[in-house]
Amino acid sequence: MELKKTGMAGTLESSDILVVIEPKNSEGIDILLESVVIKQFGDQIRKIISNTLRELGINQVIVRANDKGALDCVIKARVQAAVSRATGSKECFWRVVES
Amino acid sequence: MYVPGNNPGLLKDAHIYGADALMFDLEDSVSLQEKDTARFLVFNALLSIDYEGTETVVRVNSLETPYGRDDFEAIVRAKPDTIRLPKTEEAEEVKEADLLIGEIEGKAGIELGTIKLMAALESARGIVNAYDIATASPRLVALALGAEDFVADIKTSRSSEGCELLFARSQVLIAARAARLFALDTVFSDLKDQAAFAREVEYIKQLGFDGKSVLHPRQVETVHRIYTPTRTEIEQARRIITAMQEAEQKGAGVISLDQQMIDKPIVERAQRVLALAEATGMNKEDGGR
C-alpha cells in the first residue's frame, strides 16, 4: 500500500492515542512517540505501531503518536485508520487486515 | 446496552456492568467525519477484547448511506453475534443485508449464516411493514423499536405515558411473536428519572417485550430486577411443571393443581418463568438469591 498523503486518526482523550502518519522518501519506520506510560509500555507501543504498518506493507513512513493509555487494539485501530486515510484505500483494506 | 463506537474508554470495559448484550454503535452516535475510525475501532475491539460471553451486536449504518457497505465488510469479519440494521422500512433491505453478509462470510471463510440480524423499526413505514420485515431472512433473531425517529416521523414527541408508542410497540411485538423472533423495546433517554424508567420497563414487560435497550450502565440493574421472576413465581412455575410431568406419567389427559385446571398456555408461561430464572441465575434449589 502506498501513502499518498498525511493521515491522522485518534484523539487526546484518556484511553486513546493520536496517530499521524506521513510518507517518507527513504526506507524505514520512524516513530516519534509521546505517552503517559512511556517508561512502562513505550517499547510495546512502538512494536504494535511497527507490526501494524508492516502487516499493511508500509515501510517508508514517519509516525507521530501521542498516547493517553490506549489498549493494544486501540493503537492498532488508530494506525490502521490513519493509513486508510493516507492511502484512500477501502475495501481491500479489510482483506489485508484479515490475512 | 449502547456503546458509542468511537470511544476507546467505553469500548474496553463495557461488559463489566452486566448488560446481556453490548451494542457497539457506528450509526447515530458517530459523527460523519469519524465513521471510518469508529469502524476500525469496533473491528479491532471485537477481534481482541474478551467480553466474557456477553452477546455482541453492532449497529451499522444503513446500506443506503455511503458508510453501510464498508461497515458490513469490516464488521462481518470481526464476527459479532448480531448486526443491527437501523431504520429498516422494507423487507428488501433485510434481504439485501442478508445477501451481502453471506457474500462476505464466503470471502472471509466464515461459516454461512454465522452472523445474525436484528432489524430496528424506526418509522411509520417500518412499523406498517413489520411482519414482512420479520420474515425476510432466516438470519433475523429480533425486531427492535427505535422510538426517537419514529415519533418524529409520526409528527409527535415522546411522553411519559408513552401513548404515542402503543401502536408501534404492539405492532413490533406481534410481528416478532408471529415470526418467532425476540422483541426489544426502545431506549429511555432521561437518565436522571429512574422511577419513570422503572415504570416504563414494567409496562413493556407487561406488553410482552423480551427486553429493553439501555443507554447507561445505571439502567441495567433496573431492567434485570424487573425481568427477574420472584421466588413465589419460580416456585409456582416448578409446581406447574411437576404437575404436568406427573399427569403425563399417569397418562392423565387433564392436569390440575390446587383444584385448578392447568392448560397449555399456563404450562408455557411456567416454562418461560423458569427460562428467565435460569438466565438470571435464580433457578437454583435454594430459590436463588
Q: Contacts of residue A16 in chain B, CB cutoff 8 Å? A: 8-9
Domains, chain B, in order of start with CATH, read 2-227 (3.20.20.60), 231-279 (no CATH)
Instruction: Tell me A19's DSSP state.
Output: E
What is the layout of strands, in order, in the sheet containing B116-121?
B2-4, B21-25, B55-59, B82-85, B116-121, B140-145, B182-185, B211-212
Across-strand partners of A67? Answer: A17, A35
Give residue B261's pLDDT: 86
Model confidence at A95: pLDDT above 70: no
Q: Give me the residue spans of the domains in chain A.
A: 7-98
Closest B-chain CA to A7: B37
- ipTM rounded to 2 decimals: 0.94
CA B148 to mean position of chain CA atoms: 17
Q: Contacts of residue A98 in chain B, CB cutoff 8 Å? A: 77, 108
Q: Provide the shortest C-alpha distance from residue B1 to chain A (in Å).
A: 20
Q: Contacts of residue B108 in chain A, CB cutoff 8 Å? A: 98
State the cell numbers at B269: 408461561
Closest B-chain CA to A85: B36
Q: Tell whether B70 lies on the interface with A, counting CB pairs under 8 A.
A: yes
The tens digit of pLDDT for each residue in B34-67 reads 999 999 999 999 999 999 999 999 999 999 999 9
Output the CATH code of domain A7-98: 3.30.230
Model confidence at B253: pLDDT above 90: no
CB contact under 8 A, B36 and A84: yes
Give residue B288's pLDDT: 44
Mutate to test the interface with B, among A8, A73, A93 (most CBs of B within 10 A): A73
